[in-house]
Structure 1
Amino acid sequence: MNVGIVGGTGYGAVELMRFLTNHQAVENIHLYSQSKQGTPISEVYPHLASIIDNPMEELTVEHVAEHIDVLFFATPPAVSHQWVPALLETDVKIIDLSGDFRLSDPAVYEAWYKKTTASEAYLKQAAFGLADVYPEKIKHAQLIANPGCYPTATLLGLLPVIDQDFIDPQSIIVDGKTGVSGAGRSLSQGMHYAEMNENTRAYAIGTHKHTPEIERFLSEKTEKSIYINFTPHVVPMTRGILVTMYVNVTKNVSEAAIRERFISFYQDRTFVRVKPSHSLPETKQVYGSNYCDLHITVDERTKRLIIVSVIDNLVKGASGQAIQNMNLIYDLDETEGLNLSPLYP
């Protein structure tokens, strides 16, 4: 197949290239950039020289319709929604990594992202691309809203138990930690080496734009309005996310029983690994891979369920999951192009 990547200069795009150049079903990769048209990608990312050296092209609906089977948007918010309505008139499959189609209500999007997005009709047309939970919906969709990095780690940790009657879904506290690549490649003072090295800080307390995405799918699962406390932190590492979730247990249920629930929920999902009780997950154990590692503890003293989830924010939290969604759409082996060991150490 022929694939296109819009936003070819960002971290999400370069990770798409890393995996797609090793994907057996991908014949050609077209790179689109409004700011770098005509520039070979190796001038932006020299490490790609001799692997992929395509010049970046101008994005047009006509070019996509003629040359592309599946198009990835690895763009900032409020870009993809300007293109998607016209592209949906073609046969191209669209996988949007930006967040423009993750929320079903335009007013909610505007409140959290401080930008406008597509009309409600297009938002409702998008399938949410949490590949390990909604594969059947993804297989039949033309437009995929690829999940955010924090929502991927959090929802994979909470969805197996959110509708079980042994927890209180209104007691959820989510503590997230991410590496600096989560902020993208654009320069900002807070990401300078002198500001970030040997430093950890919380940010966007109560206002992070991924909050309504998490709440939306927890609410849909329970058929009740779910609200969470979510506090993200940035830590001095390049990539990776570790999320710790706390939720009150309302019945006397054993840790082993909850672990069995998780194992059953993900029994056919290659990329979700439920860790044994003695093995706590670490970001290094999923570095550079499409895996999500989960660990479950029941604190008998406080009657809380504690779930730890780790992913690579650029892979499972973005490009890797996007390719997993592409594989689902085309009925390919779900691991095609992604079956790589995490990088260690």
Structure 2
Amino acid sequence: MGNLRRVPVGIVGASGYGGLQLVRLLLEHPEVELVYLGEDSIVGKSLATAYPHLANVVKLPIEAIEPEIIASRCQVVFLSLSNGHACQIAPILLEQGCQVIDLSADYRFRNLATYTSWYGKERSDHDTAATAVYGLPELYRDRIADAQLVGCPGAYPTASLIALLPLFKQGLIVPETAIIDAKSGTSSGGREPKTHLLLAEADNSLAAYSVTRHRHTPEIEQICSELAGHEVTVQFTPHLVPMVRGTLATVYATLRDPGLVGDDIITIYTAFYRNSPWIKVCDSGIYPNTKWASGTNICYIGIEVDPRTRRVIVMSAIDNLIKGQAGQAIQCLNLMMGWDETLGLPKVGFYP
């Protein structure tokens, strides 16, 4: 039986693709009431200004971003802002008693010097950042359940880390050999107009970008290092694919034990993720397709071992806007509230 009073939630940064997915999912969540939408650029207008198809669905006006007012109305606040903005708002919301779920990079790092090095912004909210929990439920489920502030990873770290976690946790690989080849659709770049995301630029083309210097690299390394028990560096290369939704990460690493075969690794992954309802480990010889995950919070994992090279190859497919963004944030909300982890989240994809 559900709560008699639904939990009041708000979204700051409602007009981006991540904010839009949050709106859609929270409107259908049985235990919450969406009471606030904030976006400084379209204050006083409706979300239909940016998304006309929502004219008869979303009745809330877009309001100014005023933390004290938000806190007076919301128990939980989702921050769907560009990097460097959540850290200005979150401390105030937390002081007012709100629980905060941040979708940007601001609260993903334990060491803010690392954040400053990669994102170029000096930070003064060290005490706040120290309380943040990394929002990957498959690794930090118990911590998230007790958190007031969660920093959710984006699509690339989510897909990459889900593929890597059992390898590092069980000591199956030579850590320094981990290579991530990742590809994502254009919605990962957000809704702001950018030349490389134009149809004429991105269509019929495939290209790597931010090679050796992508901002998600230290985030992935932070978690891998914790699991390995020592400092780890990984090679991460992202690519832009001419499609709208979906992220596929293919991970390569050298196995410590050359006797392990694909079925062994599949058994290990199945056991590792046995209590993770959103992880689906494919049978031997089945490799995941991003379209399977489209519109869902599911991560599909495919595994192969090459006996010639002693390498394990793990493929991880997600919807970048759901498991890689809004869906994962709601998965964290469910844990923070003590609800079923799957509540209010889509289980069946848009396929085909």
> Normalised by the shorter chain, which TM-score bucket?
over 0.9
Structure 1 residues 117 and 11, CA gap change in structure 2 (3 angstroms): farther
Q: Is the 8 A contact 2:36 2:70 kept in 1?
A: no
Following superposition, the deviation at residue 105 of structure 1 comes to: 1.5
Structure 2 portions without partners, runs of 5+: 1-6
Residue identity matched to 1:7? G
TM superposition score normalised by structure 1? 0.98
**Structure 1: distance between partners of 2:142 and 2:304:** 30
**Structure 1: distance between partners of 2:198 and 2:346:** 34
Q: Report the more deviating stretch, 96-105 or 117-126.
A: 117-126
Instruction: Trace 1:222-301 onto structure 2 (pairs within 5 A).
Output: 222-251=228-257, 252-301=259-308
- Indicate which of 2, 11, 15 corresponds to 2:17: 11
Structure 1 portions without partners, runs of 5+: none
| Residue identity (%) | 39
Following superposition, the deviation at residue 165 of structure 1 comes to: 3.6
| Runs of 4+ more than 6 Å apart | none
Q: Report the more deviating stretch, 247-256 or 324-333.
A: 247-256
**Structure 2: distance between partners of 1:254 and 1:200:** 32
User: Is 1:315 paired with 2:327?
Assistant: no
- Indicate which of 306, 320, 341 corresponds to 2:313: 306
Instruction: Trace 1:95-174 onto structure 2 (pairs within 5 A).
Output: 95-174=101-180
Instruction: Trace 1:179-218 onto structure 2 (pairs within 5 A).
Output: 179-218=185-224
Following superposition, the deviation at residue 121 of structure 1 comes to: 2.3
Following superposition, the deviation at residue 316 of structure 1 comes to: 0.3
What does the per-residue CA deviation read over 1:76-102, in whole Å, with 9 as the maximum and x for residues that have no partner? 000000111121112211000011010
1:326 aligned residue: 333
**Structure 1: distance between partners of 2:50 and 2:117:** 34
Residue identity matched to 2:120? K
Following superposition, the deviation at residue 119 of structure 1 comes to: 3.2
**Structure 1: distance between partners of 2:172 and 2:272:** 16
Following superposition, the deviation at residue 30 of structure 1 comes to: 0.9
Following superposition, the deviation at residue 61 of structure 1 comes to: 2.4
User: Is 1:338 paired with 2:349?
Assistant: no
**Structure 2: distance between partners of 1:28 and 1:306:** 42
What number of residue pairs does the alignment pair up? 345
Structure 1 residues 274 and 118, CA gap change in structure 2 (3 angstroms): farther
Q: Is the 8 A contact 1:78 1:116 kept in 2?
A: no
Following superposition, the deviation at residue 118 of structure 1 comes to: 4.6
Residue identity matched to 2:157? P
User: Is 1:53 paired with 2:64?
Assistant: no
What does the per-residue CA deviation read over 1:257-304, in whole Å, with 9 as the maximum and x for residues that have no partner? 211111011111110000011221000000011000001111011110
User: Is 1:176 paired with 2:162?
Assistant: no
CA RMSD of aligned residues (A): 1.1
**Structure 1: distance between partners of 2:321 and 2:209:** 20
Q: Is the 8 A contact 1:100 1:118 kept in 2?
A: no
**Structure 2: distance between partners of 1:119 and 1:170:** 33
Q: Is the 8 A contact 1:73 1:95 kept in 2?
A: yes
Structure 1 residues 121 and 185, CA gap change in structure 2 (3 angstroms): same
Structure 1 residues 259 and 91, CA gap change in structure 2 (3 angstroms): same
2:3 aligned residue: none
Q: Report the more deviating stretch, 157-166 or 69-78.
A: 157-166
TM superposition score normalised by structure 2? 0.96
**Structure 2: distance between partners of 1:50 and 1:85:** 35
